[in-house]
């Protein structure tokens, strides 16, 4: 298939359409507004329905309604909007409904800034809504990967009946890169959803509900969710390594998303100039986090350097993976500042001393 030069946000919208999504509910917020704008124009061409909701709170609840009707539904937002969606996502998870969310992360906290950041890691993987549930979180590092992960996210969501988040950052949303778009899915070929509220004709009514006043029933739902998350943890952990093939590294960099690409350049630079062995570990699923794969790679290195566009969020999971077996350093810039390869190289050189 030919490659098309597309803006990240627009590619995300198109990927969702290809995956069989014909319903979008969202709200404008920089830096992802181009997704609703693209879909507002494109949906009529494919028989889709676009609704600009009155707020992200409304949007996530519209998603809940649409998902319960058995449709593939999408919402996109950025950090403050994602905060507003927390309650809704908790409900969606508790009801075992499939939805796809996209967070194009911007600087926080509070109103923050509109430039890229990676400061929503803990929100997505450890926090967000209330209760014992998990969000599957996928982190692309290029527009092509964003397209591929969005396309797959709908399948993951339907397979496990759970909300899936694709977490990009402002760079993924705004930059233009050549992408190969996946084939358009046949809408008649999507997974069957007998639990959906499509009208109680010839069957007992279906009820989409997360209220369990009897504690034994609520406990049971929680463990049912846990079973599902255990299965996802067994099957869906993904990560990638770069230049880790030797047994001995001086430093293993751990970074995700666009930071991984920047760190790759920095690693190459330090390898070439300083003749040091620098490897990179890039988690692709932030939840379930690939602890085992990271632990294995970390043992090859003398030290581990975590690089994030935050003051240190993923580093907590890195520490869990490494379990004190190697010293861990951190380099981060946030608030919309993006570390350059030179910045990362400088930090590498500092810790190599």
Partner 1 sequence: MKKIFGYPESLTPSPTHYCPGCTHGTIHRMVAESLDELGLRERTVGIAPVGCSVLAYNFFNCDMFEASHGRAPAVATGAKRCRPDMIVFTYQGDGDLASIGMAEIIHAANRGEKITVIFVNNAIYGMTGGQMAPTTMPGQVTTTCPFGRDPGHEGYPIRVVELLNTLKTSAFLARVAVHTPLSIIEAKKAIREAFRLQSEDVCFTMVEVLSVCPTNWGLTNTESNKWLEENMVPYYPLGVLKRPDGDETPTPETVASMEGA
Can you give the binding site for partner 1, defined by CB under 8 A?
23, 25, 49, 51, 53-55, 57-59, 61-71, 73, 87-88, 91, 197-202, 205-211
The nearest distance, CB 69 to partner 1, in angstroms, is 4
- CA–chain centroid gap for 344, Å, is 24
- Peptide bond just before 31 cis, omega within 30 deg: yes
Q: What angle do CA 24, 120, 103 make, to 5 degrees?
A: 15
For residue 61, the minimal CB distance to partner 1 (Å) is 4
Min CB(283)–partner 1 separation in Å: 32
What HEC string does 2-58 produce? Answer: CCEEEEHHHHHHHHHHHCCCCEEEECCCCCCCHHHHHHHHHHHHHCCEEEECCCHHH
Alpha carbons 340 and 65: distance in angstroms, whole number:
43
Distance CA 23, CA 344 (A): 41
Query: Which of residues 202 and 246 has its CB atom nearest to partner 1 in the complex?
Result: 202
Find out whether 294 and 244 touch, Cβ atoms under 8 Å.
no
Is the Cβ of residue 61 or residue 78 nearer to partner 1 in the bound state? Answer: 61
Q: Report the alpha-carbon distance of residue 150 to residue 179 in Å, rounded.
A: 13
Considering beta carbons, is residue 87 or 329 the nearer one to partner 1? 87
Q: State how far the Cα of 199 lies from the Cα of 144, in Å rounded to an integer.
A: 39
Q: Would you give the distance in Å from CA 308 to the centre of its chain?
A: 15
Shortest Cβ distance from residue 200 to partner 1 (Å)? 5
Smallest gap from Cβ 204 to partner 1, in A, equals: 9
Going from the C-alpha of 280 to that of each of 178, 322, 331, 332, the distances in angstroms are 24, 15, 14, 16
Taking the complex as a whole, the smallest distance from the CB of residue 73 to partner 1 amounts, in Å, to: 7
Sequence-distant (≥ 6) Cβ neighbours of residue 307 within 8 angstroms: 253, 254, 255, 259, 262, 263, 330, 331, 332, 339, 344, 347
Contact 138, 284 (CB under 8 A): yes
Name which of 3 and 224 has its Cβ closer to partner 1: 224
Distance of closest approach, residue 54 Cβ to partner 1, in angstroms: 4
Q: CA nearest 224: which of 65, 93, 98? A: 93
Indicate the residue among 209 and 235 with the shorter CB distance to partner 1: 209
**For residues 80 and 70, what is the distance between their CA atoms, to the nearest angstrom?**
28
CA atoms within 13 A on the CB side of 3: 8
Q: Report in angstroms how near the CB of residue 138 gets to partner 1 at its nearest.
A: 23
**Closer CB to partner 1, residue 47 or residue 110?**
47
Q: How far is the CB of 165 from partner 1 (least distance, A)?
A: 18
Q: How many CA atoms lie within 13 A of 225 on its CB side?
A: 23
């Amino acid at each position: 298939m030919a490659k098309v030069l597309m803006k990240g946000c627009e590619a995300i919208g198109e990927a969702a359409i290809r995956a069989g999504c014909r319903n979008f509910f969202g709200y404008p917020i920089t830096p992802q507004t181009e997704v609703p704008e693209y879909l507002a124009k494109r949906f009529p061409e494919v028989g889709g329905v676009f609704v600009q909701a009155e707020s992200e709170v409304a949007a996530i609840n519209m998603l809940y309604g649409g998902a319960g009707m058995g449709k593939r539904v999408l919402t996109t937002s950025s950090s403050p909007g994602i905060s507003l969606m927390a309650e809704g996502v908790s409900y969606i998870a508790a009801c075992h409904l499939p939805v796809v969310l996209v967070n194009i992360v911007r600087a926080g906290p509070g109103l923050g800034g509109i430039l890229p950041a990676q400061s929503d890691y803990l929100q997505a993987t450890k926090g967000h809504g209330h209760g014992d549930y998990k969000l599957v979180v996928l982190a692309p590092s290029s527009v092509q990967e964003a397209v591929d992960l969005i396309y797959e996210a709908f399948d993951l969501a339907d397979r496990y009946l759970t909300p899936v988040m694709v977490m990009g950052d402002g760079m993924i949303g705004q930059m233009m890169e050549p992408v190969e778009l996946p084939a358009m899915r046949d809408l008649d070929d999507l997974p069957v959803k007998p639990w959906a509220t499509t009208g109680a004709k010839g069957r007992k009514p279906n009820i989409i509900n997360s209220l369990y006043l009897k504690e034994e029933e609520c406990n049971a739902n929680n463990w049912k969710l846990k079973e599902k998350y255990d299965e996802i943890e067994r099957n869906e952990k993904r990560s990638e390594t770069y230049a880790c093939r030797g047994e001995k590294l001086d430093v293993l960099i751990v970074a995700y998303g666009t930071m991984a690409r920047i760190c790759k350049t920095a690693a190459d630079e330090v390898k070439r100039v300083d003749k040091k062995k620098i490897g990179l570990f890039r988690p692709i699923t932030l939840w379930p986090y690939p602890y085992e794969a990271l632990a294995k790679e970390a043992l090859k290195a003398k030290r581990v350097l975590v690089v994030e566009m935050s003051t240190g969020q993923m580093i907590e999971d890195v520490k869990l993976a490494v379990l004190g077996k190697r010293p861990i350093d951190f380099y981060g810039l946030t608030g919309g500042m993006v570390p350059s390869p030179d910045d990362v190289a400088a930090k590498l050189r500092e810790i190599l001393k």
